[in-house]
Structure 1
């Protein structure tokens, strides 16, 4: 059981972006000259390059929104660069998901943790609160899932807190820009929805005429020496080992020539935190499988599960989508999907 990565590239019909004033009033579609690179799930940011002749501070200035209606693609412009050599202007900013990464959830005064209970979307609504004014809205949709005494990690980012919450209850975070009828101002919906498992009915492989490349790496780290707080002989040291089935434990399985070791230095960590973070690190370093594919007409969301298969190596990868990168260049729109996680 190894770490695995699956990457898809989907060529789709052009996505149309709309811009707004900083107040949210729509200004029409983004100019045809725009070249877009938008990352959702990893860096959670975007860059849009337009011709200098198309630059308008009211439509694409600081604080202006850019969005593709009914999708998660969008964000707020916060970084502008004029590139005189190319006669272009680069518009950059954080996506809606990225904006969640720049809010911090603090424990209430006098308490060790913020503890929440209630229907899942209601809990999400409590976590988001009024941090974004009226821009982010949690729909009144009942998931049928009840959260009981959920402890939020101390000083976690809002995004990490939300992601950990929905992961725990087997859901994904759905983010979408909505254009309400009769209103000039749109808003971003954030809610928990069921994960769609495409692997049960669809498996991408060469047999469908899809280009598939599989890499199976079996020389990853299997012994991680974790070093925490303290000095010299009093330093906290923890040994973590990859087991035969790919899980992480404290009993060594691989020895001699098969042992591959590395050091994880976290000088401020106590034993419990050292074990938690060391386990995450070892999962990143251990054996892995990668499957890269080029497919057409895919429409996947962060958290959905997909499968890829290579007949030559008889390798199957079944993983949730963790990243989408949308690119628009020369009128052609593509979306790269990446999937990574520990085999079940």
Structure 2
């Protein structure tokens, strides 16, 4: 880790090199340690001297290299800014080191640092039924909030759900998965948790795609193994049908894609397995909840709100403490802008209102998250 003389960056920012990448961040963030990197950015943990605890800082990777990247970066910032809920990752700070719009290239997002994700938890320990209840309750509580804003997660899986040592949980990376992005992600495991209607492009999907994913995750928490570990889309569907049965006529009529409908009709007919036998030894209420989440017909699948009212959630459910969100304005999704225009919107979002004094940061309410 080498420090270099700072030039043309804001006062109280410093420059440091990590993994051959230059980071330029406020002095309040010290002890930067790389913890991950992906197609869309690098992430470090850091100690925030102002808040006196560790945070995660993400440096977006060349956010303005293309229109797709620019729009995705803008989407990520807008979504994070909108979220204020205990079970959903929110934004503590956003900053750029540059003094002027002309030099604006880099964006840093600061979020709470979470320890393990559900993947680590499932691998490391056998969970008690009470544990599973508490974890699933928090996922549903977070989803109720996200869905109330009109946002669909679309890519809920164990690695997108972070948990700290007190078993407190936050949902990450919501709303970022778009069909255009699918080819870019390349994560095979994603499909294991994906609702059949989104995976096979059957129809216009709704918020219950996320409930299917919760069902898959909950089954894994209960049994310690992946529910539908398909090797490809066809194998995935085969495994799903073996458990939940082939769709009835009523549901087949709802599949708008003709090719998808004739393919599903050509599959050997299978009846639904008895979930009580399949999840032997599990709490009967847990099995009943799974039964109502893992339903092919999206109109019959539970919503997050309905799932919170299920008897399995009785111990934790509190309607007075399951908040909803303000409506989220996603009209930008329909906008076809060039890179320069996205860059201008992004700059306004980073440097615009709701900022702390000193040229960086959000207001005090965000700082307390």
TM over 0.5: no
TM-score (norm 1): 0.22
> Which structure shows the higher strand fraction?
1
> Which structure shows the higher helix fraction?
2
